[in-house]
């Protein structure tokens, strides 16, 4: 049944939350073209679109739940009676999930084969999130109604997106442990205006670049990044002539006076944009506080002597160099002097954004003889892994060591930040089982190698998971595992033709079987397990009488191991289904 339940869990992995108290997500509509291959459940689309930080995200998911599924391992059929989503944890900050069914329960056995969910919101922190979904599944198989709680991981990828203020853009506002943020100014005035930038990143770093190198925030906390963008323009503020060309003299109106001087200002388009006042009878004229904007270079200043009767005299011209300060000029015609250029601030814009670095979880567990335990109260969710595969229902802060292998845990804290712990290699004890009917000792399959020992000596060629035990004595096995363990098993002592007491032992009435198997001499209260040839659990129950009748009609042909446990006894039986 494990693989059947897996299909159910895979299906409901899209139903991420029991109905949310928020109602911001749009109502979803099921896509009735969503059909599973070969009658299996299906999710459409199979992979959710990538979410981006600081960008609104919404997607509709359709799920298809068939009424009946077939376990591909055993070939057994199971009817799915109900699937209930009971909880979710490890969600990215900023996203919410709403189911189409108000109570979170779906009844495929009653024709409820479709449902949908809406995912929406604005994620804040980039990363890969393993969302933990807990479900309760009720299925019917072998004439039994089975209820099982499962948990499943569904990965949500949140990529860095682009955010922005009025004057700069950035690619992230929140992170876990540390955060690299790239900034870029987006305001720039056209030349000849001058645009300058002053960044204060809130972490004692500054810059004057329009696109500074990415900034690392490596300490948890809140930072205020601020950019001041300043736009300045060149202005002609003053012109002072210390000497003038003598080209002004000689006219009739100049006999009894000196030059009547003025100047014109011509822009890059040849347009006269300014004419100064005429300073009469002044060979060292000065024009102050002009405040003329120089926005269309190149500019030319031409000096004139105004004449009343004849044409005005040209005293020479000079180009303006756009740089702030006092600039001397000396025209070959004899006109010389100084002009003052100002670079004045005309616009200033200041914007800011808050950057948050959350504490990263410290994924360190304590180790006891039987458990791995997290004692950090700041951790909120846990998903244990064994040999890189998530363990169903192992979502508590501690785990009891059972199967051998490398244990690891994915934890999140209250901020939604995730981290993997170090791995822990656990090598469990191995205990052989004696099958009196088959006259064999055996251990579970799946190890990398086996070496059996009889009375402490290794047996040549005894390298399978089972070994013939036709002689009484002490048997043990040395196993190695794919995950790095080398373990010598406990010793099982085989005493032939000797019973611990005179009570009859459990036994099959007939073997092989077709439709049913009858086991006699079973003690009420004994725990009974049925495993297939690969060691997978087929059924588990407690005997209520001295005789057990097992329905084997749906069992595929093959060999099955029956284990009957009562008090200190462990009676193995081998069942052959024709």
How far apart CA 552 and CA 517 sit, in angstroms, is 7
140 lies in some domain: yes
Whole-number Å distance between alpha carbons of 140 and 294 = 86
Phi, psi of 98 (to 5 degrees): -130, 130
Q: Same structural domain for residues 205 and 350?
A: yes
Q: How far is CA 24 from CA 20, 118, 119, 150, 484, in A?
A: 10, 10, 10, 29, 51
Q: Is residue 317 a contact partner of residue 189, using CB atoms and an 8 Å limit?
A: no
Nearest to residue 124, comparing CAs of 98, 178, 163? 163
Q: Do 401 and 285 fall within a single domain?
A: no
Write out the residue range of the structural domain in which residue 177 sits: 163-233+346-357
Of the three residues 340, 370, 405, the one that is the final residue of a domain is: 340
Torsion of CA 117, 383, 6, 130, to 10 degrees: 40
Q: Quick one: CA dihedral 543, 549, 554, 559, positive or negative? A: positive
Residue 423: which residues within 8 A CB-CB, separation 6 or more? 406, 407, 408
In a domain, residue 382? The reply is yes
User: Is 154 a member of any domain?
Assistant: yes
Residue 219 neighbours by CB under 8 Å, 6+ apart:
178, 203, 357
Residues 255, 298, single domain; the answer is: yes
Q: Where are the beta strands (DSSP E) in 160-220?
A: 163-164, 168-170, 174-176, 179-181, 183-185, 194-200, 206-207, 215-217
Residues 515 and 458 in one domain: no
Q: What tens digit of pLDDT does each residue of 134-167 get?
A: 677 788 877 778 777 666 667 788 877 777 778 8
| Structure tokens given for 419 | 């981290």
- The pairing of strands 51-52 and 144-159 is parallel
> Are residues 32 and 124 both part of a single domain?
yes
pLDDT at 254 over 80: no
**Which tokens hold the place of 135?**
């479900």
- Number of domains making up the chain: 6
Residue 501, in any domain of the structure: no
| Mean of per-residue pLDDT scores for the chain | 84
Q: Are residues 256 and 217 in the same domain?
A: no
The whole-number pLDDT of residue 137 equals 78
500 in any annotated domain: no
Do both 203 and 352 map to the same domain? yes
Instruction: For residue range 554-575, list pLDDT tens digits in order.
Output: 888 888 888 888 765 778 888 8
Residues in Cβ contact with 123 at an 8 Å cutoff, skipping those fewer than 6 apart: 51, 52, 53, 57, 92, 93, 94, 95, 158
Within a domain: 499: no
CB atoms within 10 A of CB 269: 7
502 assigned to some structural domain = no
Q: Are 78 and 4 in contact (CB under 8 A)?
A: yes
129 within 8 A of 92, measured Cβ to Cβ: yes
What whole-number percentage of the chain has pLDDT above 90?
A: 38
Domain boundary among 159, 178, 195: 159
Q: What is the pLDDT of residue 251?
A: 59
Residues 6+ apart with CB under 8 A from 222: 354, 355, 356, 357
Q: What CATH number did the domain enclosing 530 receive?
A: 2.60.40.10
- Asked which of 426, 445, 467 is the last residue of a domain, the reply is 426
Distance from C-alpha of 337 to C-alpha of 284, rounded to nearest angstrom: 9
Q: What is the pLDDT of residue 232?
A: 94
Rounded to 10 degrees, what is the CA torsion of 437, 438, 439, 445?
Answer: -130
Given a cut of 50, is residue 16 above it in pLDDT?
Answer: no
- 193 and 312 share one domain: no
Query: Of 220-224, 311-315, 508-512, which range is least confident?
Result: 508-512
Which of 51-55, 145-149, 295-299 holds the top average pLDDT?
295-299
C-alpha distance from residue 198 to each of 205, 232, 572 (Å): 11, 14, 80
Token pair in block for residue 213: 């190198």
CA 234/CA 321 separation, integer angstroms: 10
Asked whether residue 264 is assigned to any structural domain, the reply reads yes
Say if strands 114-121 and 68-70 run parallel, antiparallel, or are unpaired: unpaired
The CATH number for 268's domain is 2.60.40.150
Cα-Cα-Cα-Cα torsion 119, 125, 130, 134, nearest 10 degrees, comes to -50
Task: Answer yes or no: do 252 and 336 share one domain.
Answer: yes
Q: Domain check: are 511 and 571 in the same one?
A: yes
Mean local confidence (pLDDT), 403-416: 90
What 3-state class would DSSP assign to 504? coil
167/155 same-domain check: no
- Which range has the worst mean pLDDT, 53-67, 149-163, 165-179, 284-298? 149-163
Which domain CATH number covers 137? 2.60.40
- Helix, strand, coil percentages, rounded to 5, for the chain: 5, 50, 45
**pLDDT of 152:** 63
Q: Do residues 207 and 352 share a domain?
A: yes
Per-residue pLDDT reduced to its tens digit, 75-84 = 778 888 888 8
Q: Mean pLDDT, to the nearest integer, of 457-480?
A: 90
Contact of 216 with 192, CB cutoff 8 Å: no
Residue % of the chain over a pLDDT of 70: 89
Neighbours of 343 (CB within 10 A): 17
pLDDT, tens digit, for every residue of 483-527? 889 999 999 998 865 444 456 778 888 888 888 988 888 888 888
Q: Give the global pTM.
A: 0.58
Half-sphere exposure (Cβ direction) of 56: Cα atoms closer than 13 Å: 4
């Amino acid at each position: 049944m494990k693989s059947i339940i897996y299909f159910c869990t895979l299906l409901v992995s899209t139903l991420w939350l029991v109905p949310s108290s928020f109602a911001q997500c749009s109502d979803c509509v099921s896509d009735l073209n969503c059909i599973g291959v070969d009658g299996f459940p299906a999710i459409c689309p199979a992979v959710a679109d990538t979410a981006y930080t600081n960008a609104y995200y919404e997607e509709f998911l359709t799920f298809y739940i068939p009424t009946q599924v077939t376990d591909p391992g055993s070939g057994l059929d199971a009817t799915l009676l109900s699937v209930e989503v009971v909880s979710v944890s490890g969600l990215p900050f900023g996203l919410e999930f709403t189911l189409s069914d108000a109570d979170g329960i779906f009844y495929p056995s009653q024709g409820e084969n479709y449902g949908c969910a809406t995912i929406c919101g604005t994620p804040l922190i980039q990363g890969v999130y393993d969302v933990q979904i807990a479900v309760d599944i009720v299925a019917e198989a072998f004439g039994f109604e089975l209820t099982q709680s499962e948990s499943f991981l569904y990965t949500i990828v949140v990529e860095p997106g682009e955010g922005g203020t009025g004057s700069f853009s950035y690619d992230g506002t929140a992170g876990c442990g540390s955060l690299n943020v790239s900034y870029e100014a987006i305001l720039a005035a056209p030349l000849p205006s001058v645009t300058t930038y002053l960044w204060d990143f809130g972490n004692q770093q500054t810059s004057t670049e329009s696109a500074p190198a990415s900034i690392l925030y490596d300490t948890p906390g809140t930072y205020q990044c601020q950019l001041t963008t300043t736009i300045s323009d060149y202005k002609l503020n003053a012109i002072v002539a210390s000497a003038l060309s003598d080209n002004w003299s000689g006219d009739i109106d100049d006999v009894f006076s000196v030059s009547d001087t003025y100047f014109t200002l011509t822009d890059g388009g040849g347009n006269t944009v300014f004419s100064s006042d005429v300073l009469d009878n002044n060979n060292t004229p000065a024009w102050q506080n002009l405040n003329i904007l120089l926005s269309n270079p190149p500019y030319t200043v031409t000096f004139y002597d105004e004449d009343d009767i004849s044409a005005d005299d040209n005293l020479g011209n000079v180009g303006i160099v756009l740089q702030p300060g006092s600039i001397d000029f000396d025209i070959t015609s004899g006109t010389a002097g100084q002009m003052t250029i100002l670079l004045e601030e005309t616009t200033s814009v200041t914007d800011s954004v808050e950057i948050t670095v959350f504490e990263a979880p410290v994924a360190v567990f304590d180790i006891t003889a039987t458990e791995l335990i997290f004692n950090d109260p700041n951790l909120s969710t846990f998903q244990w892994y064994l040999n890189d595969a998530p363990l169903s229902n192992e979502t508590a802060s501690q785990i009891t060591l059972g199967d051998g292998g490398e244990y690891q845990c994915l934890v999140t804290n209250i901020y939604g930040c995730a981290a993997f712990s170090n791995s822990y290699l656990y090598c469990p004890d191995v205990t052989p089982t004696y099958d009196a009917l088959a006259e064999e000792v055996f251990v579970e399959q799946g190890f990398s190698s086996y070496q059996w020992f009889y009375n402490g000596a290794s047996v040549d060629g005894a390298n399978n998971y089972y070994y013939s035990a036709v002689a009484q004595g002490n048997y043990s096995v040395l196993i190695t595992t794919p995950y790095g363990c080398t373990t010598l098993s406990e010793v099982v002592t085989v005493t032939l033709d000797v019973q611990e007491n005179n009570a009859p032992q459990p036994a099959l009435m007939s073997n092989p079987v077709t439709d049913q198997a009858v086991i006699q001499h079973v003690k009420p209260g004994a725990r009974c397990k049925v495993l297939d040839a690969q060691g997978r659990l087929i059924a588990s129950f407690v005997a209520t009488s001295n005789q057990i009748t097992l329905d084997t009609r749906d069992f595929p042909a093959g060999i099955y191991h029956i284990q009957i446990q009562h008090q200190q006894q462990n009676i193995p039986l081998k069942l052959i289904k024709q």
